[in-house]
Amino acid sequence: MGSLANALDIVNLVLFSAVAVVALLQWRAGRGRAALWAALTFIDLAVIVDVANALPEDPTSTPDLVLQRGVILGLVLWDTPEARLGAATLAFVGVLFAIYLLVVQLFVIDAVCVWCMANDVLIAPALAVVTALRLRT
């Protein structure tokens, strides 16, 4: 499963970079300010994905913590319609994964983790609702 996740991370990075290059070329061809914003959005996402992949999962050193906070800040401050759609898509995928984990807990391993259940039932759906509401603004 880890190698599949790593492969998907690489595919994500390549796709973000490719869309950024295409949008940058569109902007340079005089296609307008929207193409520039699209390019900057996907360049930002590519940098965030690249930095996040370089960080350890549980950072303990100060530089790692600063970089982790910078990644989170980059995701929060970049507020464009594309970023909102990306956040809503990730939240929707998170809800689907939470449903999968809930089914695994209840029917496959017959064990329930209280923290996992709180995430699957409360936090993931709440995040999806909040990001969906942000799409409307």
Per-residue pLDDT, 77? 67
Per-residue pLDDT, 78? 66
Both 72 and 5 in one domain: the answer is: yes
CA distance 82 to 39: 11
Residues contacting residue 19 through CB under 8 Å, at least 6 positions apart = 38, 42
Both 17 and 70 in one domain: the answer is: yes
Per-residue pLDDT, 1? 54
Both 71 and 118 in one domain: the answer is: no
Both 72 and 25 in one domain: the answer is: yes
The last residue of a domain, from among 49, 78, 107: 78
Say how many domains are in the chain.
2
Per-residue pLDDT reduced to its tens digit, 58-92:
777 777 777 777 766 766 666 677 777 777 777 78
Both 89 and 59 in one domain: the answer is: no
Residue predicted with more confidence, 98 or 45: 98
CA distance 26 to 38: 10
Both 94 and 39 in one domain: the answer is: no
Per-residue pLDDT, 38? 72
Both 105 and 73 in one domain: the answer is: no
Q: Is pTM, for the whole model, over 0.75?
A: no
Q: Is the per-residue pLDDT at 99 higher than 60?
A: yes
Residue predicted with more confidence, 55 or 123: 123
Residue predicted with more confidence, 71 or 131: 131
pLDDT average, residue stretch 91-112? 86
136 — pLDDT class (breaks 50, 70, 90): confident
22 — pLDDT class (breaks 50, 70, 90): confident
Nearest Cα neighbor of 39 from 21, 15, 64, 13 is 21
Q: Is the per-residue pLDDT at 19 higher than 60?
A: yes
Domain of 23, in residue numbers: 1-78
For residue 107, give both structure tokens: 């029917």
Q: Is 33 exposed, middle or buried (0-12, 13-18, 19+ CB in 10 A)?
A: exposed
pLDDT average, residue stretch 40-64? 72
Both 88 and 54 in one domain: the answer is: no
